[in-house]
Amino acid sequence: MKKGYIFGIVIIAVAISMLMATVGDASQYVNFDKAYKMSENGNSTKIHVVGTLKKNSGGEILGMNYNPKQNPNLFVFTLVDENQREEQVIYRSPKPADFERSEQVVVIGNVQNGQFVADKILMKCPSKYQENNLEFKEAKATL
């Protein structure tokens, strides 16, 4: 067999193995109820939970705790999932920038020792392309 054919077969085999590795690492979107049931059954795979931050009537975030002077790699916050279940999320990294501005949060992680521990946080922030209610004033020319 020619060296070119062998090289091509090796490249294809590597590409297939990389594809299989990424498909095997894909996680699923669930709510907190399902995440805790998976944990009880011994399933420790990484999952996605979509939710919003818990806020009071004034729009202030509740249940957020981050003290970078005490421990810069511990960020704790409360997330409300699609079923309105509130859970405390532990993130062992610094608080993401503009976290307070996010409209929706996706946490990727699993339940460990009865608490949801996130490895990654994805945020949907308000788009800078959203139409704002702009107020236009009529300008009058003076002659």
Give the chain's end-to-end CA distance (angstroms, integer): 89
Apex 59 CA angle, 57 and 62, nearest 5: 90
How far is Cα 53 from Cα 81, in angstroms, rounded to an integer? 9
Closest CA to 116 of 90, 92, 96, 94: 90
**Model pTM?**
0.69
pLDDT confidence band for 10 (50 / 70 / 90): confident
Q: 39 or 86: whose pLDDT is higher?
A: 86
pLDDT confidence band for 23 (50 / 70 / 90): low
Tens-place pLDDT, residues 66-81 = 999 999 999 999 999 9
Q: Which helix (H) or strand (E) holds 17?
A: helix 3-24
Q: What percent of the chain has pLDDT over 70?
A: 82
Report yes or no: 98 and 122 within 8 Å, Cβ to Cβ.
no
Tens-place pLDDT, residues 87-112 = 999 999 999 988 888 889 999 999 99
Q: In the chain, what are the domains?
A: 24-124 (2.40.50.140)
The position carrying tokens 């202030």 is 60
Q: Is 6 exposed, middle or buried (0-12, 13-18, 19+ CB in 10 A)?
A: exposed
- Once rounded to an integer, what is the mean pLDDT over residues 55-75? 91
pLDDT confidence band for 139 (50 / 70 / 90): very low
- Once rounded to an integer, what is the mean pLDDT over residues 111-115? 91
- Once rounded to an integer, what is the mean pLDDT over residues 46-69? 91
